[in-house]
Amino acid sequence: IRVFVGISICPSMIIANGLEILTPLVLEKLDLDPAIATGPFVITGINILIVLTYFLIAGFLLQI
C-alpha cells in the first residue's frame, strides 16, 4: 500500500498545481471574482482528483 501512495503523490501534485493555476483564470473569464470563489473550487477539486488518482493508480498496479 505504501507503494501506491508513493507513486500517486507525483501525479496528484501535478494535477493540484494545474487546477490551482487554471481555476482563477477560468473564473476571471466568467466575470466572477477569483479571490472569493477560488478557495472552495480548488479545495474540492483537489480532494476529488487526488482520491481518483490514487484509486486509478492502485487499480492499475493491482492488475499487473
pLDDT on residue 1? 66
Q: Is the pTM of this model over 0.75?
A: no
pLDDT digits (tens, 9 = 90+) for 10-23: 888 898 899 889 98
Q: Which long-range contacts (CB under 8 A, 24 or more apart) does 6-15 make?
A: 7/57, 7/61, 8/50, 8/53, 8/54, 8/57, 8/58, 11/53, 11/57, 12/49, 12/50, 12/53, 12/54, 15/46, 15/49, 15/50, 15/53
